[in-house]
Amino acid sequence: MSTETTRMKSVGVCTGAGGLALGLEQAGFDPVLLLDNRAVSCETLRANRPAWNVLELDLLEFDPIDHQHTYDVDLLAAGLPRVKAAASVGRADRNDELEVLKATIMLMHAVRPRALLIENVPDLVTKPAYGPIREYIGEELVHLGYELHWFVLNAVDFGVPQDRREGVVIAFEGDRLASFTPPAATVTRQRTVGEVLGMSMAVRGWPQAAEWAAQADRPAPTLVGGSWNRGGADLGPTGSKRAWARMGVDGATVADDVPGPDFAWNPSLGRAGMVPLTVRQAAMLQGFPRDWAFAGRKTAQYRQVGHATPPPVGLALGKAIKAALEH
């Protein structure tokens, strides 16, 4: 069957700004339902895809019996909150992120999709501290008749100008896992911050845009959305800010607009001489198309961008899953 002509059905949970859903759509998956608990994220989804069925609800409160059109879809896709390591998945060690992950696994009992995709931190795949969580997921899915595979991807290998490692678990009903191959890199050369953002830096007549772009000659560090409950928008923790500073970027804030003709870029002066990025530029570093709009005020927009799965990663994963399902 042709991957270009055959569309499949999916359900998305913890959808956020829609990076994973967009990539899966490009790969051939049409969502019958997208679920997120943040009003601003649901507003973003509806603004960009009015035909998508978007439900604003906490996953822990979602009862699929009220949404039976989600049953027996081809794919359940979850871009979950970043799970923290836990010595146990028992009740004594509860945390919100782990409860959401467990709710996703429990959803498999009712929805029974042909395939499952969970995207999360790479440590979930690689670190011994996450062993109990991996064991829990494996036992539940095998009990339901699924086979699963863990692996790590880096968004930079799929044309995203950012060093962003993603932990992934894929599960298939029956023996379809044997037909699945994790996506291979789609680019032979890593894209840099300067080549992706150079033109946008120049749109208001900043004369140093080309000079800045030439020295921003590497991929971005991982963009981090930060906490929804505190603080303003910035590009990540201290280590990320240092990496941005080496490219002459002020990583401690997010700008309302790109530099104008009078801005003097001189990183030796500290933050005052560095250029901040805008939300739109951060979205470009995540691989979002230029016409993808983000709802809310600046900080809420940036949170959505920083927490998103880059659409090109979703596309690559979607193609690989679809190929296995069609085999």
pLDDT tens, 72-112?
A: 999 999 998 888 876 555 544 457 889 999 999 999 999 99
Whether residue 244 is found in the same domain as residue 173: no
Lowest mean pLDDT of 9-18, 90-99, 140-149, 279-288, name the range: 90-99
Q: What is the pLDDT of residue 92?
A: 45
Report the domain count for the chain: 2
Quickly list H helices, 184-310.
193-201, 209-215, 238-245, 279-285, 298-307
The pLDDT tens digits for 191-219 are 999 999 999 999 999 999 999 999 999 99
- Residues 220, 111 within the same domain: no
Predicted local confidence at residue 236, as pLDDT: 87
Q: Output phi, psi for 96, to 5 deg.
A: -60, -45
Residue 118: phi and psi, rounded to 5, are -120, 130
- Confidence check: pLDDT of 229 > 90: no
Closest CA to 314 of 10, 93, 102, 108: 10
CA angle 213, 161, 9 (to 5 degrees): 145
Q: What is the CATH number of the domain that holds 161?
A: 3.40.50.150
Report whether 188 contacts 240 (CB < 8 A): no
* Residue 1 maps to a domain: no
pLDDT of residue 32 exceeding 60, the answer is yes
- Decide if 2 is inside a domain: no
Please tell me whether residues 275 and 290 are part of one structural domain: yes
pLDDT digits (tens, 9 = 90+) for 255-277: 999 999 999 999 999 999 999 99
34 lies in some domain: yes
Q: Based on the domain organization, do 236 and 153 belong to the same domain?
A: no
pLDDT of residue 4: 52
- Structural domain includes residue 284: yes
The residue written with tokens 């969580």 in the block is 133
Residue 3 lies in a domain: no
Whether residue 162 is found in the same domain as residue 220: no
- Bigger pLDDT: 236 vs 267: 267
Indicate whether 1 pLDDT > 50.
no
Does one domain contain both 104 and 246?
A: no
One domain, residues 23 and 142: yes
User: How much is the pLDDT for 88?
Assistant: 52
Task: For residues 175 and 265, state if they share a domain.
Answer: no
Contacts within 8 Å (CB) and 24+ apart, 123-130:
123/85, 123/167, 124/83, 124/167, 124/169, 125/150, 125/151, 125/152, 125/167, 125/168, 125/169, 126/152, 126/167, 127/85, 129/85, 129/86, 129/87, 130/83, 130/85, 130/86
180 shares a domain with 93: yes
Same domain, 63 and 124: yes
In a shared domain, residues 229 and 166: no
Helix (H) or strand (E) holding 187: none
Residue 108 lies in a domain: yes
Average pLDDT on 106-131 reads 95
Residue 205 and residue 174 in one domain: no
- Is residue 279 one of the residues assigned to a domain? yes
Neighbouring residues of 259: CB distance < 8 A, sequence distance ≥ 6: 201, 204, 206, 208, 209, 265, 275
Confidence at residue 228, expressed as pLDDT on a 0 to 100 scale:
82
Task: Flag whether the pTM goes above 0.85.
Answer: yes
Helices (H) and strands (E) counted in the chain, each on its own, are 11, 9
pLDDT of residue 83: 86
Find where tokens 């399902």 sit: 325
Report DSSP state, residue 182.
P
Angle at 161 between CA 159 and CA 165, to 5 degrees: 85
How distant, in Å, are the alpha carbons of 99, 128, 138 from that of 240?
Answer: 29, 25, 33
Domain interval for residue 122: 8-187+309-326
